[in-house]
Amino acid sequence: MKRTNLLFTLSLLFMLVAAVRVSARERYNFNSDWKLQVGDIKGADGRGFKDNGWQRVTLPHAFNEDEAFKVPIKQLTDTVAWYRKHFRLPREAKGKKVFVEFEGLRMGADFYLNGHHLGYHENGVMAVGLDLTPYINYGGENVIAVRVDNNWAYRERATGQRFQWNDSNFNANYGGIPKNVWLHVADNVYQTLPLYSNLGTTGVYIYATDIDVASRKAVINAESEVRNESKRPVSIGYSVEVVDADGNTVGTFGREPVSVAPGATVTLTASDTVDNLHFWSWGYGYLYDVKTTLLVNGKAADQVVTRTGFRKTRFGNGMIWLNDRVLQMKGYAQRTSNEWPGVGLSVPPWMSDYSNGMLIDHNANFFRWMHVTAWKQDAESCDRVGVMQMLPAGDAERDVEGRRWGQRTELMRDMIIYFRNHPSVIFYESGNESISRDHMIEMRDIRDKYDPHGGRAIGSREMLDIREAEYGGEMLYVNKSEHHPMVQTEYCRDEGLRKYWDDWSYPYHKHGDGPLYRNADASAYNQNQDQLAIEMVRRWYDFYRERPGMGRRVNSGGAKIIFSDTQTHSRGAENYRRSGVVDPLRIPKDAYYAHKVMWDGWVDVENHSSYIIGHWNYKPGVVKPVYVVSTGDSVQLFVNGKPQEMPKRDYEFLYTFSNVKWEPGVIEAVSYDKDGKETSRTSKKTVGEPKSLKLTLMQGPEGTYADGADIAMVQVEVVDENGNRCPLANDMVSFTLEGPAEWRGGMAQGPDNYALAKELPVECGITRVLVRSGFEPGKVKLTATATGYAPETVEFNTIPVEVEHGLSKFNPSAALKPRLDRGETPLTPSYYDKKVDVKVKSAKAGYANDKVANSYDDNELSEWRNDGRLETAWITYELERPAEIDDICVKLTGWRQRSYPLEIYAGDELVWSGDTDRSLGYVHLNARPVRSRFITIKLKGSAADSDAFGQIVEVVEPKAGELDLFKAEGGDKTNHELRIVEIEFLETLRK
């Protein structure tokens, strides 16, 4: 601890003890007892307006929640709705400051208190704060009214400009107040709130510096923006207490008092070294409470508790470090709405933890929220479960200028201030499409002003050649770098319903069968589960083989679009997107388990496992392929103990057994390493005939609260006599609900997706339904019936919640514990070098020697090309040293569509000849190793075009990256054209 003198230290300790007993800051749950009415109602802003007949709701609550997954995104109702709330303050609040915090509204909102207009908020994304103090009635009833307009075409009042992110392709329009609301009561000398929107304040900022992971220590820094709204100068001291997850104080420090004039705003800071820290990590959501207390004229006057975590990051050399360990990003580009059937995004915190925690369950490590920033509840959830976040502010799919760019920078500023204490936030995204160098610098300056010490990289999609970006990465293709890391921002758009297993299983959906999309084949968006899982393996392989340890230029992973099926733009048969690896009720598809196998490691695979895609219930006579996803070097398959023919291995992890005859019993896959030692095994068995329904209650750790907003989820399965789920069951199930609860239902393939229906089918033997608690506690009983089965019932009692005059101290996330599943960051390496890159010293070509360096400049927006004549289609590279090059890794222009016939020579010796594969980025040419300093790549004939990934398209027609989308001038004329974007010469390290 830093010491100034003994007197100050004793004084500080005394004041800290006092601070424990006295805290003038109160934070109330302000979600209860709102009234809702849809329509623009004259006079609804007035204090005396009669709202007796309005709908009673508990926030968060979108007024159009009934439409969640029922209608296409463009048909979500956009109109004006009013929310009103009557409340009274406790007596001890008299004369204090009163603020309200809305975590977010959609879209534009006007706020009124007791008939007075407080202000408005328009961006539809970020939290907003309002000072209620001037118009508050301390001794009686208050009425707050909010008018919300969620028009798809909403325009900014001052400029008439639309907001780029209010887009009906990707930003589901759950209108009204779909997020939480809090009321803050503080003394007139107080720490501000991190609510720049409207209030213009920045709040508390906690961060760590001088982090020593191995020694478990760091300097903890606290900064608080403080205002003196009293009428006289005051002496303000500042103390900080760091409390660990077990409630133990692990650090106390502070600063000497300063004099602050009336009306003045100052920033108070303090710091000290804290030992024995637990660093936040992937799957290790260790959090601390940092209590910052103002000591006004020697008395504790205001305390703010900031829940945060400490971790160390680094970005460079094409890689990402977390707590000194290299990490390849493995996760999802998730729609920020993160919605559920029947309720949209407005779910209780336990459901956020359940959904986000599923990433940890299957070895994913990050969310890249799409287009708009996350809801604070999701950010807090990611903190707890140990999932990293890439946060955008707000955008669409292009750079913009003028006022539209101004809207984006303002939202970035407000977002950074609001989220900078969340350890799970690792990246700030400046654009869902490439932005200019000047715009990147401007965004970086905003980060440096408001979060200079948070260890968060700021970048944008693409940024392939802009070094001012701290990370980049294309949307659909594979990039590499030796400078800022490349993380693919959304790959693999393929869609498929969870309902469809394969071509041999009920309901016998032919793989790819569905309507055209914009008059084009849409088979990639109507896939069966088995092929969707295979596509996950195929796509991840492109990133895995370019991981750290595979040369100088590497890829840092990617975000598969999306995690859970979402009510946004789709291309398949349904009216919502089915690209998720789980369905909207978070029931996994087989693709989920494929990722679980491949992703179990920070970079290299660290724990071996296997998974058999599909089920083992077929009709006699069926002969079909069986697919096994495995980390082993070989796999053997057994049917009832009988070995099957050896498989074909593709994409490192996929083993295909082509003709397996079904017979009832057990199918088992056993995986081995190169030495024949078993590494993992997995099996599936034939399930018996359906015998009964099985109901499983899913709820928060303490049960379901009677607050009008909590949700209990009930899982419904059709099982055999041994309780095993029947994978082909599709029975229609009817539900009856009794007690103080509201039916919110589930969904399935069918009319209106069975939204809110009380009769719906299980799919593949399973479904789930949602029940929302009422306003009063009591017994809730849900009964499920289906033809041929006995009725099944689940019962639970809802827990009372104390609400007094519209205020509550109930915090629905208080009982949620951090997940520490994966343990602290290992101190061991996460990968071992398997290949080394031998640098190019110089090169000469048959044409355009002045541009030949473009082929090895670590810039994927540049290329070398010849003039279309065969005699000029060659380059000879001189390496920095003689080497036995056995892997030529090359990105060739038009890589998705064009195959090049090449010859490669080491000196004068031919070491490779053939046609290059089409890919999503790089191809590897496995050459015969011949020691040489000179490597020549030469075209031996005309290139051939044929799209190998035919349905990779954008929502908006792209202009970004002409090389990758094969739009370069003259790109349709192959002739004898050789075009190289990047080439690397790799030498495998021998053990």
Active-site annotation, residues:
490
Is 165:371 a contact under the CB 8 Å cutoff? yes
Three-state SS at 810: coil
- 518 sits in the region (left: phi over 0; alpha: psi -120 to 50; else beta) called left
Is 37:81 a contact under the CB 8 Å cutoff? yes
Three-state SS at 318: coil
What's the Cα-to-Cα distance from 509 to each of 12, 99, 705, rounded to whole Å? 71, 56, 42
Please report which helix (H) or strand (E) contains residue 447, including its range.
helix 437-450
What is the 3-class SS of 695-709, one letter each residue? EEEECECCEEECCCC
Strand ranges in 341-472 using DSSP code E only, listed in sequence order = 366-370, 388-392, 425-429, 457-459
Q: What is the CA radius of gyration of the chain?
A: 30
Q: How crowded is residue 330: how many other Cβ atoms within 10 Å of its Cβ?
A: 26
Question: CA-CA distance, 318 to 557, in Å (whole number)?
Answer: 11
Q: How crowded is residue 448: how many other Cβ atoms within 10 Å of its Cβ?
A: 11
Residue matched to tokens 């309780």: 723
Residue matched to tokens 């309507």: 515
For the CA atoms of 252, 253, 254, 255, the dihedral, rounded to the nearest 10 degrees, stands at 160
Residue matched to tokens 């075209």: 939
Residue matched to tokens 């919110």: 744
Is 927:986 a contact under the CB 8 Å cutoff? no
Question: CA-CA distance, 885 to 911, in Å (whole number)?
Answer: 9
State CA 400 to chain mean position distance. Answer: 25
Is 189:236 a contact under the CB 8 Å cutoff? yes
Is 310:289 a contact under the CB 8 Å cutoff? no
Strand ranges in 640-791 using DSSP code E only, listed in sequence order = 642-643, 648-650, 654-661, 666-672, 678-685, 692-698, 704-705, 711-719, 732-738, 741-745, 759-761, 766-773, 779-785
Question: CA-CA distance, 933 to 938, in Å (whole number)?
Answer: 17
- Pinpoint the alpha helices (H) of 54-135: none
Q: Which two tokens stand for residue 686?
A: 């034939």
Question: CA-CA distance, 424 to 387, in Å (whole number)?
Answer: 6
Is 489:397 a contact under the CB 8 Å cutoff? no
Question: CA-CA distance, 581 to 560, in Å (whole number)?
Answer: 9
At 673, the amino acid letter reads D
Q: Output the DSSP codes for 860-902.
A: TT--EE--S-GGG-EEEEEEEEEEE--EEEEEETTTTTEE-EE
Question: CA-CA distance, 709 to 704, in Å (whole number)?
Answer: 10
Three-state SS at 80: strand
What is the β-pairing status of strands 766-773 and 741-745?
antiparallel
What is the β-pairing status of strands 181-186 and 97-102?
antiparallel
Question: CA-CA distance, 621 to 514, in Å (whole number)?
Answer: 28
What is the 3-class SS of 156-217, one letter each residue? CCCCCCECCCCCCCCCCCCCEECCCEEEEEECCEEECCCCCCCCCCCCEEEEEEEEECCCCE
Q: Which two tokens stand for residue 952?
A: 């990779």
- Name which of 184, 185, 178, 183 is nearest 58 in CA terms: 178
Please report which helix (H) or strand (E) contains residue 360, including its range.
helix 349-361
Question: CA-CA distance, 489 to 215, in Å (whole number)?
Answer: 35
Residue matched to tokens 């103390």: 239
